[in-house]
Amino acid sequence: MRIFKLKIDFVYIAILSIFLFIYSCFIYALTSHNIAEAINDMVKGHILAKLFIPVLIAAALLYLVWKAIVRHIMKPVKKIAEIAEEITHEDLSARVDIKNPNKETKYLISAFNDMISRLESSFKYIVESNSYIAHELKTPIAIIRGEAEIALKKERDNEEYKKVISIALDESKKMLKTIEDLLLLTKMTYRPEFLNFENIDLNQFLNDIFEQSKILTAEKNISVDISVPEMSERVKADELSLRRLFFNIIDNAIKFTPQNGQIKIDVKYQKKKAIVSISDTGMGIADEDIPKLFDKFFRANKEKNRYASGSGLGLPITQSIAELHKAKIIVKSKLGKGSTFSVVLPILSH
Amino acid sequence: MVNGYFDILSVCIVLNPRTLIMKRILIIEDEDRVRKIYAQLLTDEGFEVIESADASEAYDVLNKGGIDMVLLDIKMPVVFGSILYEIMQSFHNKVKVIVASVYPLDEQKRIVKGAVDYHDKSHGTQLLLEKVRKALLEDS
């Protein structure tokens, strides 16, 4: 291999020498007082004899300088390649860091590092969602299996069998909900193009939500009120997802509000944004728990989120929908008094 | 002679599964349905069962004494089972602990080091019962 490389070096030097020699001949002819004599010199080979060694040395030097320049330019690329080789799915924490890079290299490094960051967050999502799936699906399996095993140990009366069957049914519904929520969250995170954005009249949209909320809250005798400004505004949204966003918040409010409580939907329009606040008279959320509310897979990996119910993915899904609509969700709460979830949506200009 | 006699007697006690009957087991599990299943499983087998839905409640029970074994869940609200286990190592290190969680067994062993046994809750109640019996027989 090494000999082969050396051969290539010599070929390059020879080609360079030929070019240099032709160039020298031109210069010689042009600077000479008598062009005819100069051409005669060339034909007789006097010039070749005179210039052979200097041209060869110059070509070799030129080649070395060129190689050094290429090596210098390729240095950061080599470093990027080295780091790329180190990176595996087990450790995506490595980043390229080169001191004082030039403009082009800087661009290359930042593009490379950004790509690794995106990969890292995707892998993190896969690992966390796997752990979440395992945990959230194994618990209902443990319950269904345990109930069935105990029921089959000896003869039982019909009522006991019925109880076991209804538990199995209930747990299988939970499993389905977990799977559906997880698929939806993954879709929101990685395939947001399925959303169908349209212009939506917000007053009409929220009044519909209000009407349906009344049915949901009836069971716990919770009262629902709405206050909307007279003049409506429009937002660009995927109607189905936006409905899910508001119903997730309202569902949570119902779950954590005691019997005979209150839920209020308050709508305000400002210059460029709509603020829809949903307040309840529920148990409230401790300050330190508020940032954890929207954590994906929080329940599975850290501790049980006291405010999450069902699959525990309701609020992370809500947050993903908000992000896709360039909306923000602000949570304010007082323990024992209640919580307010405010959704800040950008409105369409008239 | 007297010592030898008592040795034979204690061997007899150990080998007789009836000696397990009076053992008192504390189930620490936040999932109501799972806890009820284990309570019924162990009560049916003649064990005395005490249930706790969280670590702090369990700690009060442990402090009262008389517990032979703990079935410990790992992921619980507020205080994790692994933290309770560490506290138990300092104050109640004679109580046998079987970790019962939905985490895979290697993960359980990594989170709670040195428990008597580990059980994956999805592997069924019969296996758990065998582990409980084995662990209780080992000590006496």
**pLDDT tens column, A79-120:** 888 888 888 777 788 888 877 777 888 888 888 889 989 888
Q: Does A305 score more than 50 pLDDT?
A: no
Contact A29, A38 (CB under 8 A): yes
Q: What is the average pLDDT value for chain A, to the nearest integer? A: 86
| Range of A134-138, A295-299, B119-123 with top mean pLDDT | B119-123
> Where is pLDDT greater, at B124 or B8?
B124
What does the pLDDT average to over A329-348?
Answer: 93
Structure tokens at B1: 């002679």
Domain boundaries, chain A: 2-86, 124-193, 198-346
**ipTM attached to this prediction:** 0.81
B104 touches chain A (CB under 8 A): yes
Q: How far is B5 from chain A (nearest CA, A)?
A: 40
Q: Does A181 score more than 60 pLDDT?
A: yes
Judged by average pLDDT, the poorest of A18-27, A74-83, A117-126, A305-314 is A305-314
Parallel/antiparallel/unpaired status of strands B48-52 and B24-28: parallel
Q: Which of B41, B44, B102 sits opposite A135 (nearest CB)?
A: B102
Collapsing DSSP to helix, strand or coil, A349 comes out as coil
Other beta carbons within 10 Å of A265: 22
C-alpha–C-alpha distance, residues A303 and B20, integer Å: 34
Q: Which residue of A has its CA nearest to B33?
A: A143
Collapsing DSSP to helix, strand or coil, A111 comes out as helix
| Residue partners of A39: CB distance under 8 A and separation at least 6 | A29
Report CA A146 to chain centroid distance, whole Å.
Answer: 39
Collapsing DSSP to helix, strand or coil, B124 comes out as coil
Size of interface A-B (CB pairs under 8 A): 57
Q: What is the average pLDDT value for chain B, to the nearest integer? A: 85
pLDDT score at B1? 41
Residue A347 is given by DSSP the state P
What does the pLDDT average to over A34-45?
Answer: 78
Q: What is the pTM of this model?
A: 0.68
Judged by average pLDDT, the poorest of A1-15, A175-189, A211-225, A276-290 is A1-15
Residue-wise pLDDT for A183-221, tens only, equals: 888 888 888 888 899 999 999 999 999 999 999 999 899
What does the pLDDT average to over A215-243?
Answer: 93
Contact A181, A313 (CB under 8 A): yes
Helix axes A46-86, A103-153, angle to 10 degrees: 30
Residue-wise pLDDT for B16-75, tens only, equals: 555 555 899 999 999 999 999 999 999 999 999 999 998 888 989 999 888 999 999 998
Contact A264, A278 (CB under 8 A): yes
Residues facing B52 on adjacent strands: B28
At A308, is the pLDDT very low, low, confident or very high (cuts 50, 70, 90)?
low
| Range of A6-10, A11-15, A301-305 with top mean pLDDT | A11-15
Q: Count the alpha carbons within 13 Å of B24 in the hemisphere toward its beta carbon.
A: 10
Under an 8 A CB cutoff, do B75 and A134 touch? no
Q: Which of B32, B102, B110, B126 to mutate to test the interface with A (most CBs of A within 10 A)?
A: B102
Q: Does B2 score more than 50 pLDDT?
A: no
Q: Which of B29, B32, B33 to mutate to test the interface with A (most CBs of A within 10 A)?
A: B33
* Domain architecture of chain B: domains with CATH: 20-139 (3.40.50.2300)
Place of tokens 């060339």: A42
C-alpha–C-alpha distance, residues A207 and A227, integer Å: 9
What does the pLDDT average to over A260-268?
Answer: 94
Structure tokens at B128: 């758990």
Residue B38 is given by DSSP the state H
Contact residues on chain B for A145, CB-CB shorter than 8 A: 122, 124-125
Contact residues on chain A for B102, CB-CB shorter than 8 A: 134-135, 138-139, 142
Amino acid at A150: I
Structure tokens at B92: 């109640």
Contact A188, A180 (CB under 8 A): no
Under an 8 A CB cutoff, do A149 and B124 touch? yes
pLDDT score at B75? 85
Q: Which overall architecture, per CATH, does domain A198-346 show?
A: 2-Layer Sandwich (3.30)
Judged by average pLDDT, the poorest of A33-37, A63-67, B91-95 is A33-37
Domain at A124-193, CATH from 3.30.70, 2.40.160, 1.10.287, 3.30.200? 1.10.287
Under an 8 A CB cutoff, do A139 and B34 touch? yes
What does the pLDDT average to over A277-299?
Answer: 83
B53 touches chain A (CB under 8 A): no
Structure tokens at B134: 């084995």
